[in-house]
Structure 1
Amino acid sequence: MTLLTILIALIALLLILVVMVQNPKGGGLNSAFGGTQEAQKIMGASRSGDILVKVTWTLGGLLMLLTLLAGLIV
């Protein structure tokens, strides 16, 4: 149970960090590496918004599953 609680806390912290990195208007890391498309292609940040969205959904799903599992164990 202790390991499960530590995993839940770790995933929650990671989820907070990922959400805070995202820009609510869609800019996020894409706008941080320059404003032009060419700069984003060179820096490799052209698809960073898609990656952050996938990471957010994955961490949210893991958090939900682990909390449900913790509830069933107790």
Structure 2
Amino acid sequence: EGELETIARALLSGADLPEDCAAHAPMLAELRQGDPVSDIADARARARRMAGNYFVRGLEHCGVFGSDSVDGCQRFLADL
């Protein structure tokens, strides 16, 4: 089971992340601020989109992208 699957299952169940995934707790907390998930497929899709958003935010923070590129990447990720 991969980390995204673990995050999705925790999002659906309301459980805490296991110790080996604890570094992703801020992402799980942000996911939990949204609407409740309906099922595991919804939880997986939201976790995947959030992971993509975190990746883009990291690149932006490092100065890899300008704001236009970030907007384009976020629109792309929203369509996943």
Same fold (TM over 0.5): no
TM-score (norm 2): 0.35
Higher helix share: 1
TM-score (norm 1): 0.38
Larger relative contact order (Cα-Cα within 8 Å, sequence gap ≥ 6): 1
Q: Give 1 or 2 for the bigger CA radius of gyration.
A: 1
